[in-house]
A and B are shown apart, each in its own frame.
Chain A
Amino acid sequence: DADVTQTPRNRITKTGKRIMLECSQTKGHDRMYWYRQDPGLGLRLIYYSFDVKDINKGEISDGYSVSRQAQAKFSLSLESAIPNQTALYFCATSAGQGYAGELFFGEGSRLTVL
């Protein structure tokens, strides 16, 4: 099984619908992240969490919310999806060791908003 699991892997939805992307990890890491990938723009940080009680906005948090239900679970919600939120979304984790930890990625959730 993958260390970082994202569900669903693919989702097509309509404008205005609420969508939740879920992420779970078995790496035991404290830090979890949600990124969005768009062609030509690389990866942009949406939200990150350093522990269950710590949630921080990234550079593109508008239109998104998150929930850290447990150390191993970090969900991303789109309360009212819009077409420009069509993208590939990645969850990632890193060890809570300051600079030393690299990111470990899930396989991505491809979201299409019609």
Chain B
Amino acid sequence: AQSVTQPDIHITVSEGASLELRCNYSYGATPYLFWYVQSPGQGLQLLLKYFSGDTLVQGIKGFEAEFKRSQSSFNLRKPSVHWSDAAEYFCAVGTGNQFYFGTGTSLTVIP
């Protein structure tokens, strides 16, 4: 069965520090992977997606993610976090018919 695991429920980082949010998936075929961000009171916005090709994908707001098939991972990174990055982040797997979401990682940014 398909599943997505985000092992970190909550992460706190200092502004300007680097960030890595972890995502592991379970899926029998080639995965289609997404990272979404949800700001307070808002819907979900796509940060980036991986379908095929280069395993390092660039997204909006300076985010990137790397697909590692051997580790079944799709971790999200940002080299320098801004206060406006405080939000909830969701990893998702697309199977063609459905999308499966992780439980989310809440990011707090401290000055």
Q: Which residues of B contact A99 (CB under 8 A)?
A: 32, 51, 94-96
Instruction: State how many residues of chain B have any CB contact under 8 Å with chain A.
Output: 23
Q: How far is the CB of A21 from chain B (nearest CB, A)?
A: 14
Chain B residue with Cβ nearest A90:
B43
Q: Which residues of B contact A45 (CB under 8 A)?
A: 98-99
- How many A-B pairs have beta carbons closer than 8 Å: the answer is 52
Q: How far, in angstroms, from A40 to B9 measured CA to CA in the complex? A: 8
Q: How far is the CB of A97 from chain B (nearest CB, A)?
A: 10
B103 contacts the other chain (Cβ, under 8 Å)?
yes
Of A4, A43, A105, which is in contact with the most chain B CB atoms at under 10 Å from its CB?
A43
* Residues of A in contact with B (beta carbons under 8 Å apart): 4, 33, 35, 40-45, 48, 58, 90, 92, 94, 98-100, 102-108
